[in-house]
């Protein structure tokens, strides 16, 4: 037995993903070549995707109503024979036979396409937050090309070759699908887009090449979009969904005027008014971390019922103790200067032992991140406290782990490490994961009371404010 991966083909210029509106197969089913697998909807058409092989369906990519990136696995098959046999058999149907002369590498310049790599499980696209190069630049291997941000991390993408840049994928703030071309180079060698192999004998075409070719050739019919059974969310193309998501618009509030009940761009226009810039106005594109913060705060306000409670506590004696401790240990390099924060966290840890419902997460299932479903609350014995920290790129929330076990000094040292690491962008992804509740403060900015937004799926956020001189 072998494995055959059918990837979502390139189904239109500029299309980076498609919504699966209907599945015609399920895991465990035996299918034959050309049998319908699924219906996929893009901004331009609804197409029927058919099987390129005979085999048994092992897995399908997603549920109906979800989107799949171009180049991502759509269906994985168990097939008779090995991977190489399948590649040779199906490539022979569509790929011309290569001659030794055609297969031999040619001298001179070539083209090399650097595709956005698979940068995390479940990640289908990334936002380009910064370009370090432009068309015409000459770069060397390992030179930085761009910074890309996903929901999980920001990574630096470096050049795999020496060459001159002839094209880049888009502007800062644009989304690029995993597997799509990020940067194109002119190289002083045979590039990776040449049809020739590096040996004198022909090499079978990749499976994905045959898969994509056949899927497009056999899926030329264009059907009007229809609402799939079992999908209750509003019907709309991926581009309309993305625009609504980026703008924080609720699709269910739009009146659908599409031919088959789908929401169109014109329908979104009725929900918001886009004005041309006026004299004296400066528009700053919201990208990267700031875009993610805005999006998640909007989602939190939609999904979490916010209620604010304010109380006042006399901390005069605590402040006197803090000042005495800082004077006593001024010359001790192992002890960071004490702020009010460690004392507040100690009090919070003690309080949450009696009120565990505030050290909890509510999984309502609406974000699709819980395969087992939703509508449950997770309470925790450990206080893994998110500390909201302002940086030049926006607000980030590193996590103080097991805060209830730390002394005042241990807490102070760890808070300093997290704050400095966040500002210098030196923390690892693990430093931002696993928070069970969050603490935020205006610090020296002043004010009397804050009403912060809950960091979903957490159920509470604490916003202490010290009155009087800071």
Q: What are phi and psi of 297, to 5 degrees?
A: -65, -40
- For residue 206, the model assigns a pLDDT of 30
Give residue 361's pLDDT. Answer: 93
pLDDT confidence bin for 387, thresholds 50/70/90? very high
CATH tag, 2-95: 2.40.50.100
Report helix, strand or coil for 343.
Answer: helix
Q: Reply yes or no on whether the pLDDT at 81 is more than 70.
A: no
Q: What is the mean pLDDT of residues 185-214?
A: 44
Tell me the pLDDT tens digit for each residue of 127-183: 898 899 999 999 998 899 998 887 767 788 889 889 999 999 888 888 888 888 899
Q: What is the pLDDT of residue 185?
A: 92
| CATH number belonging to domain 290-462 | 3.30.559.10
Decide whether 2-95 matches 240-284 in CATH topology: no
Question: Would the pTM count as exceeding 0.95?
Answer: no
pLDDT at 121: 64
Q: Which residues contact 188 (CB under 8 A, 6 or more apart)?
A: 109, 162, 163
Does the pLDDT value for residue 40 go beyond 90? Answer: no
Decide: 244 and 65 in contact? Cβ < 8 Å. no
pLDDT digits (tens, 9 = 90+) for 230-280: 445 677 776 777 788 777 777 777 888 877 678 888 788 777 654 467 788
Q: Is 278 exposed, middle or buried (0-12, 13-18, 19+ CB in 10 A)?
A: exposed
**What stretch of H or E contains 111?**
strand 110-115
Q: What average pLDDT does this structure show over 351-369?
A: 84
Distance CA 335, CA 340 (A): 15
End-to-end CA distance of the chain: 70
282-320 confidence digits (pLDDT tens): 888 777 777 778 888 888 888 888 999 999 999 999 999
User: How high is the pLDDT of residue 332?
Assistant: 87
Whether pLDDT at 212 is above 50: no
| pLDDT exceeds 80 at position 38 | yes
- Size of the chain, expressed as the number of residues it contains: 470
Q: Where are the alpha helices (DSSP H) in 329-407?
A: 341-354
> What's the token pair of residue 51?
């099987």
* Residues 3 and 78 sit within 8 Å (Cβ to Cβ): yes
Higher pLDDT, 181 or 223: 181
Range 153-156 contact pairs with CB under 8 angstroms and sequence separation of 24 or more: 153/119, 153/120, 153/429, 154/129, 154/288, 154/289, 154/425, 155/119
- Which pLDDT score, from 0 to 100, does residue 324 have? 94
d(CA 48, CA 341): 58
Q: Is 71 left (phi over 0), alpha (psi -120 to 50) or beta?
A: left
Torsion of CA 73, 77, 78, 83, to 10 degrees: -60
- CATH topology classification for 240-284: Dihydrolipoamide Transferase (4.10.320)
Longest CA span, the chain: 87
The CATH number assigned to the domain with range 100-198 reads 2.40.50.100
- Write out pLDDT tens, residues 314-337: 999 999 999 999 999 988 888 888
Domains in the chain: boundaries: 2-95, 100-198, 240-284, 290-462
Residue 425 in this model has a pLDDT that exceeds 70:
yes
């Amino acid at each position: 037995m072998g494995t055959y991966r059918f990837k979502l083909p390139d189904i239109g210029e500029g299309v980076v993903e498609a919504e699966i509106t209907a599945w015609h197969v399920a895991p465990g089913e035996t299918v034959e070549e050309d049998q319908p697998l699924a219906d996929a909807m893009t901004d331009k058409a609804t197409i029927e995707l058919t099987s390129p092989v005979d085999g048994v369906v092992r897995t399908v990519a997603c549920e109906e109503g979800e989107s799949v990136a171009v180049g991502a696995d759509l269906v994985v098959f168990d097939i008779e024979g090995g991977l190489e046999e399948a590649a040779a058999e199906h490539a022979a149907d569509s790929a011309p036979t290569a001659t030794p002369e055609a297969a031999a590498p040619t001298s001179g310049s070539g083209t090399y396409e650097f595709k956005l790599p698979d940068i995390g499980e479940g990640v289908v696209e990334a936002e380009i937050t910064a370009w370090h190069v432009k068309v015409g630049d000459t770069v060397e291997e390992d030179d930085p090309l761009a910074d890309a941000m996903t929901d999980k991390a920001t990574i630096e993408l470096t050049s795999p070759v020496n060459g001159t840049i002839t094209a880049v994928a888009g502007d800062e703030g644009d989304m690029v699908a995993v597997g799509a071309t990020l940067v194109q180079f002119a190289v002083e060698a045979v590039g990776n887009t040449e049809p020739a192999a590096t040996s004198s004998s022909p090499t079978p075409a990749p499976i994905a090449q045959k898969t994509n070719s056949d899927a497009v050739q056999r899926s030329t019919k264009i059907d009007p979009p229809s609402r799939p059974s079992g999908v209750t969310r509003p019907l709309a193309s991926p581009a309309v969904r993305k625009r609504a998501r980026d703008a924080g618009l609720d699709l269910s509030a739009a009146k659908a005027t599409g031919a088959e009940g789908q929401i169109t761009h014109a329908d979104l226009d009725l929900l918001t008014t886009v004005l041309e810039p006026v004299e004296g106005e400066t528009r700053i594109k919201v990208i990267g971390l700031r875009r993610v913060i805005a999006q998640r705060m909007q989602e939190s306000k939609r999904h979490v019922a916010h209620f604010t409670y304010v109380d006042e506590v006399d901390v005069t004696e605590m402040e006197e103790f803090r000042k005495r401790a800082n004077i006593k240990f001024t010359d001790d390099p192992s002890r960071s200067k004490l702020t009010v924060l460690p004392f507040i966290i100690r009090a919070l840890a003690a309080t949450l032992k009696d009120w565990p419902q505030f050290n909890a997460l509510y999984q309502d299932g609406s974000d699709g991140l819980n395969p087992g479903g939703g509508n449950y609350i997770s309470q925790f014995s450990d206080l893994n406290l998110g500390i909201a920290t302002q940086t030049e790129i926006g607000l980030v929330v590193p996590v103080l782990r097991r805060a209830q076990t730390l002394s005042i000094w241990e807490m102070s040292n760890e808070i300093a490490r997290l704050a400095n690491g966040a500002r210098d962008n030196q923390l690892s992804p693990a430093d931002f994961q696993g928070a069970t509740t969050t603490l935020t403060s205006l610090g020296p900015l002043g004010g009397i009371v804050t009403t912060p937004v809950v960091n979903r799926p957490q159920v509470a956020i604490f916003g202490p404010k010290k009155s009087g001189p800071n």
